[in-house]
């Protein structure tokens, strides 16, 4: 994260915030969220006519912005316009879902804040999604051993036994997979102060 981001992000314009967001600055993302969340929520509410669903759309839109931050190009429009476009697409998708059509007429009005800190959950999910996307880009043999090691918690010896491979092959695949992941994730990694 950038060293002066926590205090200085709120005073930056959207272009500057997006530059910082693109390098993984979570304080800039939080400032951008604070600046635009109300507008996104209001815009989504006009489409979905439900506070709860508009909140979901808002969170989804910001999560999508975070995930796609490296693909943002200011030459195609402002960050706010891009964000509102994402929100519009999410809101329209919501209105087309069968659950929306079934549940919408019976909105209860019990719009309560989630017990967890929403902004932290958004960032956690965004990071998990980024790692999943990077894993999906690996060759199958490398992804398989990394998933067995990190997701299933198997040792390298256990992986070798399950796949009927030499231990050295498993170790090489894990090492090569981790190196490729590091390269993939470095493109959008937060700057280190």
Q: What is the pLDDT of residues 121-150, one digit of tens each?
A: 777 777 777 777 788 888 899 989 988 888
Determine the pLDDT at residue 5: 42
With pLDDT > 90 as the criterion, what percentage of the chain qualifies? 34
Determine the pLDDT at residue 185: 76
Q: Encode 153-183: b = buried (16+ Cβ within 10 Å), e = exposed.
A: ebebeebbeeeebeeeebbebbebbeebbee
With 60 as the cut, is the pLDDT of residue 20 above it?
Answer: yes
Average the pLDDT over 149-165 and give the result: 88
Determine the pLDDT at residue 129: 77
Determine the pLDDT at residue 102: 59
pLDDT grade for 55, boundaries at 50, 70 and 90: very high
Determine the pLDDT at residue 36: 93
pLDDT grade for 23, boundaries at 50, 70 and 90: very high
Average pLDDT of the chain to the nearest whole number: 81
With 70 as the cut, is the pLDDT of residue 47 above it?
Answer: yes
Enumerate residues 6+ apart whose C-beta is below 8 A from 99: none
Determine the pLDDT at residue 100: 65
Structural domains of the chain, with CATH:
5-116 (1.10.1740.10), 137-193 (1.10.10.10)
DSSP state of 164: T
The two tokens of residue 125 are: 């999910």
Enumerate residues 6+ apart whose C-beta is below 8 A from 133: 67
Average the pLDDT over 153-159 and give the result: 90
Dist. CA 75–CA 21, nearest whole Å: 16
Dist. CA 166–CA 156, nearest whole Å: 10
With 90 as the cut, is the pLDDT of residue 170 above it?
Answer: yes
- Number of other CB atoms surrounding residue 14 within 10 Å: 19
Residue predicted with more confidence, 57 or 132: 57
Dist. CA 126–CA 110, nearest whole Å: 27
Residue predicted with more confidence, 74 or 35: 35
pLDDT grade for 101, boundaries at 50, 70 and 90: low
How many residues in the chain? 193
The two tokens of residue 193 are: 């102060």
Number of Cα atoms under 13 Å in the Cβ half of residue 153: 0
């Amino acid at each position: 994260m950038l060293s002066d981001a926590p205090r200085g992000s709120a005073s930056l314009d959207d272009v500057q915030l997006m530059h910082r967001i693109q390098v993984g600055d979570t304080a800039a993302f939080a400032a951008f969220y604070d600046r635009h969340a109300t507008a996104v929520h209001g815009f989504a509410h006009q489409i979905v006519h439900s506070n709860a669903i508009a909140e979901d759309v808002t969170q989804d839109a910001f999560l999508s912005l975070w995930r796609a931050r490296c693909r943002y190009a200011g030459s195609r429009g402002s960050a706010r316009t891009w964000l509102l476009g994402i929100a519009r697409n999410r809101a329209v998708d919501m209105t087309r879902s069968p659950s929306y059509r079934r549940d919408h007429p019976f909105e209860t009005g019990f719009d309560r804040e989630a017990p967890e800190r929403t902004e932290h959950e958004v960032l956690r999910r965004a990071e998990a999604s980024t790692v999943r996307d990077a894993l999906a880009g690996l060759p199958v043999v490398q992804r398989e051993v990394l998933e067995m090691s990190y997701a299933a918690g198997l040792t390298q010896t256990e992986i070798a036994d399950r796949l009927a491979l030499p231990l050295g092959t498993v170790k090489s695949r894990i090492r090569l997979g981790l190196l490729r992941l590091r390269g993939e994730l470095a493109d959008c990694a937060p700057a280190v102060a």
